[in-house]
Amino acid sequence: MPFILNEEAALKSLLTGLTVSDNANPSRPVGVFYGQPDSQIRAQAYPYITIDLIGIAEDFERAHRGYVPTTYPIEGSSLPVGSPTSFPIPVDLLYQISTWSRQPRHDRKIIADLFNLGLLPFRFGQLFIPQDGTLRRLDVLGFSKRDTTEAEKRLFHNIYNIRISAELFPDQITQVYEVTQTPQVGITYQNTSYTTPTIPS
């Protein structure tokens, strides 16, 4: 999968597998969905987690210019590891992770698990991308509670703002072809042909 899709799939996999308990179910799974999942909306049952992409920005503090040997296989490229390529463009992917639940104990359990299990830690967060075998930096930028009442029912809603480091390779954006022969450039104007002269060495 290409840029963004790899990171989102890895993020969803990271958050999948949490459970909560109550009198009716001692191991109730916490679903994970992308934001506004039209095809999955009927499958949503409390509690659940949603993932929303809210921004993409170049990280100028990590930016470099020039060429560097590749240190991992670039998906979609035939370049072997170690081949020279332009320095990748460092990009920050900004996500909003929202948790939704009806019961306060479910709400607190999800908060505890996301922090205590190291899924969304305040420090040293990492996200493994299996497609290229890299570990990306994952930073929690903020946390806020947005509890409300909906149809006379309590809705416990938490928001985590996170940042994931990513890279774009310019050589994948602009394809460069090796010159194999010197072309003759000709200009024709009103039946008059002119060929650029050869510059003596």
Of 30, 75, 58, 85, nearest to 166 by C-alpha is 58
Which segments of 21-156 does DSSP mark as H helices, in order?
Answer: 104-116
For residues 110-125, one letter each, b for 16 or more C-beta atoms within 10 angstroms of the residue's C-beta and e for the rest, the string is bbebbeeeebbeeeeb
Q: How far apart are CA 41 and CA 84, in angstroms?
A: 45
Domain borders along the chain are 5-195
Of 92, 99, 133, nearest to 113 by C-alpha is 99
**Hey, is 13 helix, strand or coil?**
helix
| The domain made up of 5-195 is a member of CATH 3.40.50.300 | no
Encode the chain (201 residues) as per-residue pLDDT tens digits. 478 999 999 999 999 999 999 998 999 999 999 987 555 555 678 999 999 999 999 998 888 888 888 888 777 677 788 888 888 889 999 999 999 999 999 999 999 999 999 999 999 999 999 988 889 999 999 999 999 987 788 999 999 999 999 988 876 544 455 667 766 655 555 555 545 555 555
Half-sphere exposure of 140 (CA within 13 A, CB side): 17
pTM for this one? Answer: 0.76
Tell me, what's the pLDDT at 174?
Answer: 47
